[in-house]
Amino acid sequence: MNSSSENSTALEVHDLCKSYKGRPALRGVSFTVSRGEVFAIVGPNGSGKTTTVEILEGIRRHDGGTFRVLGGSPSDLRVRESIGVQLQDGEVMQNLRPLEVLSLFRSFYPRGLEPREALDRVSLDPPRRTLVRELSGGQCKRLLVALAIVNDPELVFLDEPTTGLDPAVRRDVWEIIRDLRGRGKTVVLTTHYLEEAERLSDRVAILDQGEIAALDSPAALVGNSGLAGTIVFTFETEVPGLAERVAALFPGAAANGTGARVSSVRIEDDLHRIFELGRSAGTSVRDLAVHAPTLEDVYLSHTGRAWPGEESAAELR
């Protein structure tokens, strides 16, 4: 890799493979992550998300393939000092105070943030005498993220940082991730939540059974999927022969005397057709709802399985 690409690329992964007791967990995973990018890896339990990031963090050995982290290996001291890691199941010394834990971790690095600044960046301000074991679940997640950034890393790995949090606290963690991106940090995020990946990431890799099923920006994954959205509309007055007129424009549509539900790949064009249909019939649209394809629909189209999310996207809006 030349110096120019090293300066612009935070991660480069080629044909990464890993098996456990002869059972493949990763089957030739390849991707790159640019510096300053938020890159999300989504997939259900067992898809290989945590295995992937633990290999890149230097925690787990790989069986095949190659990868470079910030132009080197996570075993290099320079690289270790330049990455931050929030583990999925990380635990912190329960009988210390948050500031004490951060001070200890900060002492492991030659440079970084002041412990108080790390707490401020994750909006964690517990009473001075509070012990780690007395923190709420949301506060513990914030502390784990603070520990991941106390060395002011160039690259931050966040492995399911919002799992188990209620929607309000999850949105707070989203703001922390947005702040990291605003500071020019590279973030690799694994998550169960497609809504989270769609809102936060520059690009998303859908990992399924150890393989990347799709990889692109959230908008491109949806926009290039060819999947149909849905338009539901109702006219002000009943339109004679509406079902036939709608069927001529939208084969397979469901219609009654005043409205219809139609599938649409080109939503903007089809909206014009619906309004023109109303004008030609001497009426106007009274109610209209557009349901565009989502990242969940893209996941379903690539894997053939419904997304096993714990919450609907509506809970997080």
Domain with 255 in it: what CATH number? 3.30.70
d(CA 120, CA 170) in angstroms, rounded, equals 17
32 in a structural domain: yes
Q: CA angle, corner 155, sides to 152 and 157, nearest 5? A: 105
d(CA 290, CA 111) in angstroms, rounded, equals 51
Q: Are residues 75 and 198 in the same domain?
A: yes
Band (pLDDT 50/70/90 cuts) for residue 292 is confident
Q: Are residues 52 and 181 in the same domain?
A: yes
Of 61-65, 84-88, 117-121, 185-189, least confident by mean pLDDT is: 84-88
Domain count, the chain: 2
pLDDT at 223: 81
Q: Are residues 197 and 217 in the same domain?
A: yes
Band (pLDDT 50/70/90 cuts) for residue 271 is very high
143 in a structural domain: no
Q: Are residues 238 and 185 in the same domain?
A: no
| Average pLDDT in the chain | 89
Residue type, 144: L
Band (pLDDT 50/70/90 cuts) for residue 306 is low
Task: Give Cα 282 to chain centroid, integer Å.
Answer: 46
Is the pLDDT score of 262 beyond 80?
yes
Domain limits for position 273: 229-291
Q: Are residues 183 and 286 in the same domain?
A: no
Band (pLDDT 50/70/90 cuts) for residue 291 is confident
Is the pLDDT score of 4 beyond 70?
no
pLDDT at 91: 79
The token pair that represents 27 in the structure block: 């089957």
The pLDDT of 241-264, averaged and rounded, is 89
Is the pLDDT score of 175 beyond 60?
yes
The token pair that represents 10 in the structure block: 């935070």
Tens digits of residue pLDDT in 97-122:
999 999 999 999 999 999 999 999 99
Task: Give Cα 185 to chain centroid, integer Å.
Answer: 16
Choose the final residue of a domain: 223, 243, 267. Answer: 223
Choose the final residue of a domain: 167, 190, 223. Answer: 223
Q: Are residues 15 and 76 in the same domain?
A: yes
Question: DSSP state, 258?
Answer: S
The pLDDT of 290-302, averaged and rounded, is 81
The pLDDT of 220-236, averaged and rounded, is 88
pLDDT at 6: 59
Identify which of 239, 274, 242 has the alpha carbon closest to the alpha carbon of residue 255.
242
CA distances in angstroms from 245 to 59, 115, 138, 234, 287, listed in the order given: 62, 67, 54, 14, 18
Choose the final residue of a domain: 223, 245, 262. Answer: 223
Indicate which CATH number applies to the domain containing 16.
3.40.50.300
Is the pLDDT score of 230 beyond 50?
yes
d(CA 278, CA 53) in angstroms, rounded, equals 53
